[in-house]
Structure 1
Amino acid sequence: MSQDTAKPSRKGLPRWARLLMTPLILLAAAALIWSQLPKGAYSTDLSRIGDGRPALVLTYDASFLAGMRVMGYMDEIRDDYMPRVHFLVANVGTPDGRSLANRHGVRDGAVLLFSAQGTLVEQLPAPAGAEELRQALDRTLMATR
């Protein structure tokens, strides 16, 4: 038997490249997932409503998409209003979040704007864009002066 037939020839990538393929694929997948996460965490501490600073509260339900879309709008305007305004999320999957949503008759994706004293100033069922959110927040800030 000749040595030529004893070892089958391998065509394609060298062994070191094949070994690196799996970690590179996992790293690329992790980077893609990371890039889709919200840009910053939002507090869920609803006790901050009425603590002397106006609050924008998003009602969020993980089972639906509207809240995630509105959270993207919040990401766009957040830096312009920090630290004058609390940006909060009321997760309707928690007792506090569900209670707030039920009290004001809203669902996923609704935005509630509160004065510094905790009075509801404006309610947006599902803002269509960052500009609509910005205008409502500006009205709230003007009303609370």
Structure 2
Amino acid sequence: MINTTQPSTRRRLNRTLVTLACLILTGAVFWQLLPKGSFSNDLARVGQGQATLVMLREIHVMGGDMVLAQMLQIHPEFAHVMEFLVVHTGHPDGQAFARDHSLSDGSLVLFDAFGEVLGRSGRTESPEALREFIAGHLKS
């Protein structure tokens, strides 16, 4: 007598494992696309009595995520003197902000307490470069 159930059981197990692996991979990709920080996107905060650093984020472009990580790293040093905001191009306010300031993913605009632009920067290369950009413009 030939046992025919073993190959179909193995095939079902393989199919289940492949499906599970695909779900895990898809979940990991979506996890990476989630915002990494909890910075506000409320542009109404600009010019409200505190300096503000605004970063433009385009979710479908890689690079701004590095600047966001840098912002998260230096945030504790500057949180008492300035506000950190991240605006997304997926929102009309973010699109208008990008257009008004000619920005691309990861670009930064530093505003003074009255909403005047102190400086602009493309993607910074390191937390130290971001720290220097902020400190250099806040002192002027």
TM-score range, shorter chain: 0.7 to 0.9
TM-score (norm 2): 0.75
State the Cα deviation string for residues 19-71 of structure 1 (Å, max 9, x = none): xxxxxxx9xxx89x879966640100011011010001010010101111100
* Higher gyration radius (CA): 1
Assess, with a 3 A threshold, how the Cα gap between structure 1 residues 124 and 53 changes in structure 2: closer, same or farther.
Answer: same
Name the counterpart of 1:6.
none
Name the counterpart of 2:88.
91
Name the counterpart of 2:77.
80
Shift of 1:90: 1.2
Where in structure 2 are there 5+ consecutive unaligned residues? 1-22
State the Cα deviation string for residues 52-106 of structure 1 (Å, max 9, x = none): 1000101001010111110001011001111311100011111111111111111
Contact 1:58 1:90 in 2 (8 A): yes
Q: Secondary structure at the match of 2:106?
A: coil
Name the counterpart of 1:52.
49
Number of residue equivalences? 139
TM-score (norm 1): 0.72
Of 110, 122, 130, the residue aligned with 2:119 is: 122
Name the counterpart of 1:65.
62
Of 104, 122, 136, the residue aligned with 2:133 is: 136
Q: Aligned-pair RMSD on alpha carbons?
A: 3.3
Contact 2:33 2:59 in 1 (8 A): no
